[in-house]
């Protein structure tokens, strides 16, 4: 065999051997495939079992994401109100005040603004107000109990309905640093100045304006003798609050002769004939005092019976501080009350201003069948508005749910400046540390021909000095 043939034969044998081995190799790989398939986890959760549609974008919508950056504020309730003497001599006045509070709270909760003329003074939408109150029955001990109860409920503001309650509460509230509004304007709130804020002048300043007005008329009529003045006032802390040395000294400095004082029960059970006769016997020309309508009306009726009045046989003028409210006095007395003057009161109920329009709108909406005709309904609105404004101002610095009484006092009440109540008061209200008198002047109103006539206004004299 040649070398060529031998080489060819060897190659042919190798080729045959390789061809026999290759089928074995392919068989081996196919037998290993079943080993890998049982391990496939994708066969139990195939791609088709978790399609894109099973976790759609709508399961985490875009609207849920902003909640983490601008969450919806939780609802917060704040309380306004305080003590109301709904039993006793002040019952009619305080019932009207409470109604004003309740209607105003509904308005703010519905509109979240302070007043129609203060649309920029917004109340947070998650904050609502509720009126809390208790009947103190014009008793100091009950006022203290109510105060403690309201404070325990988280009340951050307060109110005072009368001078006895104010005298009992003023030191406690000052220690607790709780700001309070008041329908009482006792000189005791000024020395030292505490945390009771008034919306009418102090009683002595009210009566001083009557004395100034009367003296001007007396001198204009050509009288050269000094007019004689006396107190004809309620036998209570309200009436006796004007009997202070500073006021007598002021009257004498003006040019009066001071004749003395006579006291009439808050609600006379018999006509005060003795007290009125004393005025006659002492030749008094001007009688000044603090009385509520249940006292002033029977007093003036008896004075008229005795022939005493500016246009009657015995010439005398009767002047009262604002609890005598001509808005209540005139409808009851008519022309019988001609010549009577009341100082420091709110506007007449038919005044053409934003405040009375607002008050009428509140009644039309919230009590259309139970209208309040008492002027102290205006006082309730003014007080409630002041309390809410103090809370609103405090919320500008401290979250509503973190407020404390001292926040509301210092960042609220003390920051109220030139605050308009729609001209229900004689001037806008301004408060501050040591400045608890909201108004800056005294309104004078007189009964003439059975109607209320505005006599103008006088500046505050601050007869009872601040300490």
- pLDDT tens readout for residues 290-336: 999 999 999 999 999 999 999 999 999 999 999 999 999 999 999 99
Please state, in angstroms and rounded to a whole number, the distance separating the CA atoms of residues 357 and 348.
Answer: 12
Two structure tokens written together for 60: 């985490």
- pLDDT tens readout for residues 21-52: 444 444 433 333 343 333 333 334 444 444 44
Instruction: Catalogue the E-assigned strands of 96-200.
Output: 127-135, 158-160, 180-182, 196-198
- pLDDT tens readout for residues 136-182: 998 999 999 999 999 999 999 999 998 889 999 999 999 999 999 99
Are 304 and 338 in contact, with CB atoms under 8 Å apart? no
Query: What dotted CATH number matches 204-343+455-459?
Result: 3.40.50.2300
Are 239 and 291 in contact, with CB atoms under 8 Å apart? yes
- pLDDT tens readout for residues 406-452: 999 999 999 999 999 999 999 999 999 989 999 999 999 999 999 99
**Cβ density class 308-336: b for 16+ within 10 Å, e for less:** bbbeeebebbbbbbbbbbbbbbbeebeeb
Mean pLDDT of the region 449-463: 94
Mean pLDDT of the region 395-413: 97
Kindly list the distances between the CA atom of residue 183 and the CA atoms of 71, 126, 377, 463, in Å, as whole numbers in the listed order: 41, 30, 11, 20
Query: What dotted CATH number matches 76-201+348-436?
Result: 3.40.50.2300
In this prediction, residue 466 carries a pLDDT of 55
Tell me: cis bond preceding 132? Omega within 30 of 0 counts.
Answer: no
Please state, in angstroms and rounded to a whole number, the distance separating the CA atoms of residues 458 and 218.
Answer: 17
Delimit the domains of the chain by residue range. Answer: 76-201+348-436, 204-343+455-459
Fold: same for 76-201+348-436 and 204-343+455-459:
yes
In this prediction, residue 56 carries a pLDDT of 46
Which secondary-structure segment (H or E) carries 137? none
Give percent of the chain above pLDDT 90: 78
Q: Residue 246 pLDDT more than 80?
A: yes
Look up residue 401 and give its DSSP letter. Answer: G
How far is residue 69 CA from its own chain's centroid? Answer: 33
Are 302 and 275 in contact, with CB atoms under 8 Å apart? no
Q: Residue 57 pLDDT more than 70?
A: no
Q: Residue 2 pLDDT more than 50?
A: no
In this prediction, residue 188 carries a pLDDT of 84
């Amino acid at each position: 065999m040649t070398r060529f043939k031998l080489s060819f034969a060897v190659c042919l044998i190798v080729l045959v051997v390789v061809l026999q081995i290759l089928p074995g190799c392919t068989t081996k790989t196919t037998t290993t495939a079943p080993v890998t398939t049982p391990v496939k986890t994708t066969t139990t959760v195939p791609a088709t079992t978790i399609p894109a549609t099973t976790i759609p974008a709508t399961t985490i919508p875009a609207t849920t994401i902003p909640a983490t950056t601008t969450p919806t504020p939780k609802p917060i309730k704040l309380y306004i109100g305080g003590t109301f003497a709904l039993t006793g001599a002040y019952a009619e006045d305080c019932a009207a005040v409470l109604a004003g509070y309740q209607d105003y709270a509904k308005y703010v909760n519905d509109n979240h603004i302070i007043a129609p003329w203060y649309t920029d003074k917004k109340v947070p939408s998650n904050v609502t107000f509720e009126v809390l109150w208790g009947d103190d029955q014009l008793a100091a001990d009950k006022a203290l109990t109510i105060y403690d109860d309201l404070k325990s409920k988280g009340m951050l503001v307060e109110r005072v309905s009368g001078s006895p309650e104010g005298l009992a509460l003023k030191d406690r509230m000052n220690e607790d640093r709780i700001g309070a509004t008041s329908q009482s304007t006792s000189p005791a709130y000024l020395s030292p100045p505490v945390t009771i804020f008034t919306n009418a002048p102090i009683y002595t300043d009210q009566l001083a304006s009557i004395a100034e007005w009367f003296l001007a008329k007396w001198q204009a009529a050509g009288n050269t003798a000094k007019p004689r003045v006396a107190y004809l006032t309620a036998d209570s802390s309200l009436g006796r609050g004007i009997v202070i040395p500073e006021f007598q000294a002021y009257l004498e400095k003006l040019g009066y002769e001071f004749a003395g004082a006579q006291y009439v029960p808050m609600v006379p059970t018999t006509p005060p004939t003795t007290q009125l006769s004393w005025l006659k016997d002492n030749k008094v020309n001007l009688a000044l005092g603090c009385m509520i309508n249940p006292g002033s009306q029977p007093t003036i009726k008896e004075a008229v019976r005795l022939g005493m009045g500016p246009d009657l046989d015995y010439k005398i003028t009767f002047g009262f501080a604002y609890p005598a409210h001509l808005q209540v006095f005139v409808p009851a007395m008519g022309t019988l009350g001609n010549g009577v003057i009341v100082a420091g009161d709110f506007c007449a109920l038919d005044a053409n201003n934003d405040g009375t329009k607002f008050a009428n709108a509140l009644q039309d909406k919230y009590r259309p069948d139970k209208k309040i005709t008492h002027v102290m309904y205006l006082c309730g609105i003014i007080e409630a508005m002041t309390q809410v404004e103090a809370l609103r101002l405090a919320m500008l610095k401290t979250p509503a749910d973190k407020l404390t009484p001292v926040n509301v006092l210092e960042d609220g009440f003390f920051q109220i400046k030139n605050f308009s109540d729609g001209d229900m008061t004689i001037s806008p209200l301004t408060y501050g540390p040591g400045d608890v008198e909201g108004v800056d002047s005294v309104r004078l109103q007189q009964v003439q021909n059975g109607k209320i006539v505005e006599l103008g206004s006088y500046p505050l004299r601050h007869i009872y000095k601040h300490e």
